[in-house]
Structure 1
């Protein structure tokens, strides 16, 4: 059963245990929204969603690195990791159930091998019994540096609002979407201009995390 924190005090208390503050996470999500609505139809179709994601990753790092956290982009999987190496946070777009305590959200798109490794590591760290996540053959064996819990700042833009939550993933479906959560911290609703998304570019499908091999040209 998923443990869901909804009441403001419960949210603040649980975030405090992780070394986080709801207000600062909300600011990070707002920065992503501003990046999204700053795009125009002249931008490439994939750019608005990518721009929003990149700005939220940047915002998380600018908030947390002064607090002693570290950034990691290993295998092109962008994380911010606490100083003890026990908690990591990634950013992803969620479906319409995001931020709704009575529903069960999933990531909007299928995810890649790095997310699969993180979910498997969560299962092992929390000693949970779940159907195993199938890891691609190219994935590295889980090492000591991966024995941490990786949370996802899950964000969903809809007409007139942005909903978000910080949640701990524990399973992925056959389609590669994260679909199960050990714990959800509901961060609430950020009101936005109800007319903005009508004129902004449509949200593109979020690209899964990938491994890119770079080779020198002969």
Structure 2
């Protein structure tokens, strides 16, 4: 059974228990949107999404470090609280993200580091194991057995960015996270109805007057 927080007071209280603040998380998500919207058709196709993700990871770290710590072990970018009991990753979600009437999944299949994190969550929550095929499974490292990994899940929709901080508890056979023990639904962030191409400003050259005289 998923515990969903969507009322303002309960959202603030649950985030405070984790050492977090909704306003700061919203700023991080907004940074990701700006990075995405600032891209142009001249960028490689995968860059806008990657740029948004990287901006949010950086923003999360700038918000929480140096009190929290960062980890990029196996290229899985996390921030980890001082006690080592809470970690946060960033991922893109599907249309169900940020909606209390839907159950979201991650937009894309995830790799062994996410499988390992969800495995550890299940061990901590004493849940039955639900995973992708055996060959994709990973067992948690002993030093991480007390860690619960949350995901800042973000979805860009028309006119808004929806987001939530949620605790994954299972993955489907397609490798997507598809079930959550807790969901903290954050306020949607209004945006333009359409992502507009932004052209970087061009440098303005000073006006130069050149006198042209006929040679004698």
For Structure 1 versus Structure 2, the TM-score category normalised by the shorter chain is: 0.7 to 0.9
User: May I ask how many residue pairs the two structures share in their alignment?
Assistant: 198
Q: Provide runs of 4+ in structure 1 moved above 3 Å.
A: 132-141
Q: Per the alignment, do residues 128 and 156 of structure 1 end up closer, same or farther by CA in structure 2, a change over 3 Å counting?
A: same
Q: Do the aligned residues in 1 keep the contact of 2:171 with 2:178 (CA within 8 Å)?
A: yes
For structure 2, list consecutive stretches of 5 or more residues without a partner in the other structure.
199-216
SS in 2 for 1:33: helix
Please report how far the alpha carbon of residue 138 of structure 1 lies from its aligned counterpart in structure 2 after TM superposition: 8.8
2:11 is matched with which residue? Answer: 11
User: Normalising to structure 2: TM-score of the pair?
Assistant: 0.87
1:170 is matched with which residue? Answer: 169
What is the aligned-residue RMSD (CA, Å)?
1.7
Distance 1:75 1:139 in 2: 13
1:24 is matched with which residue? Answer: 24
* Larger mean Cα displacement after TM superposition, 29-38 or 128-137: 128-137
Q: Which has the larger radius of gyration?
A: 2
2:203 is matched with which residue? Answer: none
Q: Do the aligned residues in 2 keep the contact of 1:116 with 1:135 (CA within 8 Å)?
A: no
Please report how far the alpha carbon of residue 144 of structure 1 lies from its aligned counterpart in structure 2 after TM superposition: 2.4
SS in 1 for 2:187: strand
Please report how far the alpha carbon of residue 136 of structure 1 lies from its aligned counterpart in structure 2 after TM superposition: 4.3
1:126 is matched with which residue? Answer: 125
SS in 1 for 2:120: helix
For structure 1, list consecutive stretches of 5 or more residues without a partner in the other structure.
201-218
SS in 2 for 1:107: coil
Distance 1:193 1:137 in 2: 39
Flag the structure with more relative contact order, 1 or 2, with Cα contacts below 8 A and sequence separation at least 6: 1
